[in-house]
Amino acid sequence: MALLITPADLMASRGNKPRTGAVKSCAQCGASFYVQPSNLARQFCSAACRHESMRKPPPQTCLECGKEFRVSPSMKRLRNIERCSKACWAKALSKRQRGAANSQWKGGIASGERRPRACAEASAWRKAVFARDNWTCQACGARSRKGSPVKLNADHIKPFATHPELRWDLSNGRTLCVECHKKTDTWGNTKKKKETPVIINPKGQAGWAFVAVCSP
């Protein structure tokens, strides 16, 4: 029958001088062992356990998803790996940089306008505007053709920020290419100094037109 060795037994002096080291638990097998004061960073009770840990490290639990995974002791010590994958690491990083924890946080002043722009209703409204206008710029008539792509924007005739009741009203939208969109006085969410106003209605459609700012 094997004798049970206690921490007190390990700390007991083997000579005239008392032991001043510490009793630690092996990171591989869990056995208790004594370490000298000069070697307190030691983690394993023997070379066999150290080699075994390098071959098959002990499992640890991912702090994000709760799954068990293995990582070498040196990698854990040097890089402090606590997540099982890049996906879990990205989730943890996102949580640490979200809201008031982010260095760019300004009290949520932009969330009231930015969040609606990214919702499913905004995407459906944009597609409906393009389909109604046949994916054609309503100012210059530009349209994507083979070998000549044209980037289109769904522009709000009355500004998105100041007319929340008309945000998803189809009649408040128009399809513009980027160049024509830049000529409007609300491009870039900044009011521009109006120069020469020009009424643009290239197709002769009755009932609507819009004013563009043309530079000389």
Q: Which of 67, 89, 111 is the last residue of a domain?
A: 89
Residue 4: inside a domain: no
**Tens digits of residue pLDDT in 86-106:** 899 899 888 888 878 888 777
**84 & 47 share domain:** no
| pLDDT for 190 | 54
Domain holding 158, by residue range, is: 121-214
State if pTM tops 0.85.
Answer: no
Residue 33: inside a domain: yes
Confidence tier at 129 by pLDDT (50, 70, 90): very high
Residue 71: inside a domain: yes
Q: Which long-range contacts (CB under 8 A, 24 or more apart) does 126-132 make?
A: 126/154, 126/173, 128/170, 128/173, 129/154, 129/170, 129/173, 129/174, 129/175, 130/154, 130/175, 132/170, 132/175
Residue 114: inside a domain: no
**134 & 209 share domain:** yes
Q: Is the pLDDT of residue 196 over 70?
A: no
Enumerate the β-bridge partners of residue 156. Answer: 173
Residue 72 corresponds to which amino acid?
Answer: S
**153 & 199 share domain:** yes
**137 & 209 share domain:** yes
**137 & 200 share domain:** yes
Residue 107: inside a domain: no
Contact of 5 with 33, CB cutoff 8 Å: no
Contact of 140 with 180, CB cutoff 8 Å: yes
**125 & 210 share domain:** yes
How many domains are contained in the chain?
A: 3
Q: Which of 11, 36, 56 is the last residue of a domain?
A: 56
**Better pLDDT: 36 or 75:** 36
**Better pLDDT: 114 or 18:** 18
| pLDDT for 179 | 92
**Tens digits of residue pLDDT in 135-162:** 999 999 999 888 889 999 999 999 888 8
Q: What average pLDDT does the segment 25-52 reach?
A: 87
